[in-house]
Amino acid sequence: MMETREMRIAALHRLLDLTVRLHEDAARSLARDGLTTSRTTVLWHLRRRGPATQRELANAMNVSARTITGLVDALVDTGFVTREPHPTDRRANLITFTDRGTRTIEALERQQEEFVDLLFAGMPDARFRCFVEGLDDVLRRLDDLGLRRGIDGR
């Protein structure tokens, strides 16, 4: 049996392998729709919170105003979102989904649900619970170390 330190190093390597595989698969899949990971992150935030100003999106994603402007410009140019006048702040616009953007994010949600089934369907419940608890432990440790939170804000 491996020593604890060796097991931890092996676990880190598995996490890195998993991260790379999931990222590369997502990037390929998103590229087919003309999206990038960063642009899709904007769409996920809009899906969760509804129409939002660029400032709200920049704060939620922990990026600069300049970065969010570039992301939103690209999403507007490709027909995923629009800028609509803010109802109470004439200096601001609300970023909202177009029909294409709504269809795309709904398709991404369906694909995510299908992928969940592919990944976890054969795992016994007790093992899955341990897996999730272990991931929660790792994420809490990353929080303790001050590393930025991911897309779901947890």
Architecture of domain 34-121: Orthogonal Bundle (1.10)
One-letter identity of residue 80: F
Higher pLDDT, 33 or 17: 17
Q: What tokens were used for 69?
A: 């402007």
pLDDT of residue 147: 84
Q: What is the pLDDT of residues 18-44, one digit of tens each?
A: 999 999 999 999 999 899 999 999 999
- pLDDT of amino acid 154: 40
- The whole-number pLDDT of residue 6 equals 92
CB 100 within 8 A of CB 80: yes
Residue 151 has pLDDT above 60, yes or no: no
State pTM to two decimals.
0.81
**Taking the domains of the chain in order of start, what are their residue ranges?**
1-32, 34-121
Cα dist from 126 to 18, 113, 122, 139, 144, whole Å: 21, 21, 12, 20, 27
Q: What is the pLDDT of residues 48-62, one digit of tens each?
A: 999 999 999 999 999
Tens digit of each residue's pLDDT (9 = 90 or more) over 62-101: 999 999 999 999 999 999 999 999 999 889 999 999 999 9
Q: How confident is the model at residue 149 (pLDDT cuts 50, 70, 90)?
A: low
Output the DSSP codes for the chain. ---HHHHHHHHHHHHHHHHHHHHHHHHHHHHHTT--HHHHHHHHHHHHH-SB-HHHHHHHHT--HHHHHHHHHHHHHTTSEEEEE-SS-TT-EEEEE-HHHHHHHHHHHHHHHHHHHHHHTTS-HHHHHHHHHHHHHHHHHHHHTTPPP-TT--
